[in-house]
């Protein structure tokens, strides 16, 4: 049995290319409508071709890199077998990319399950804007202070004597 591979694209571009030109090249080559092109650039991994041999997968990856799209070849287990073509980046440097906003960074096995919580909110209410937070029966009464100020006096200041 031969190993099969999948070519995956998640929206990464070859440095020096613009998203507009890469979108147009991919749309023309694959004859895609606008909705499908937008799906390619959603930031989530999209399988371009599945169950192909390694040589064909490498060839497709390099062809996409020539159009400005960095793709990776994944083995049957879903792990990246071969990263994006370093020849497309130039100078023999390995491709370093930053995932676009909203992209999946964690693999499915690294994610925690999300549980829906049933939180009772029936006892909560919203008051009008500018309304008092405390109800009248919840307020404390201010204490009346008796301060003796009879020993204090106000005198006029001699401003010319002050340095």
* pLDDT of the chain, 163 residues: tens digit per residue: 468 899 999 888 888 888 889 999 999 998 989 888 888 888 888 899 999 998 899 999 999 999 999 999 988 665 555 555 444 444 444 455 666 677 777 777 888 888 888 999 999 888 788 888 888 888 888 888 888 888 888 777 666 665 5
- Using alpha carbons, list the distances in angstroms from residue 65 to 15, 41, 81: 10, 15, 17
pTM reported for the whole predicted model: 0.49
Q: Tell me the three-class secondary structure of 56-78, residue by residue.
A: HHHHHHHHHHHHCEEEEEECCCC
- Measured CA to CA, the distance from residue 41 to residue 78 in angstroms comes to 20
Query: Which among 22, 12, 20, 26 has a CA at the least distance from the CA of 80?
Result: 12
């Amino acid at each position: 049995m031969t190993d099969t591979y999948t070519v995956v694209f998640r929206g990464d571009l070859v440095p020096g290319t613009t998203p507009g030109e890469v979108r147009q090249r991919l749309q023309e080559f694959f004859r895609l409508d606008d909705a499908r092109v937008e799906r390619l650039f959603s930031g989530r991994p999209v399988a371009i071709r599945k169950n192909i041999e390694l040589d064909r997968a490498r060839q497709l990856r390099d062809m996409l890199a020539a159009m400005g799209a960095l793709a990776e070849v994944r083995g049957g287990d879903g792990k990246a077998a071969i990263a994006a073509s370093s020849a497309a980046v130039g100078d023999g440097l390995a491709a370093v990319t930053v995932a676009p906003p909203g992209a999946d960074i964690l693999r499915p096995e690294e994610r925690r399950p999300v549980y829906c919580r049933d939180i009772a909110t029936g006892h909560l209410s919203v008051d009008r804007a500018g309304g008092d937070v405390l109800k009248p029966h919840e307020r404390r009464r201010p204490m009346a202070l008796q301060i003796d100020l009879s020993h204090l006096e106000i005198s006029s200041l001699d401003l010319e004597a002050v340095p």
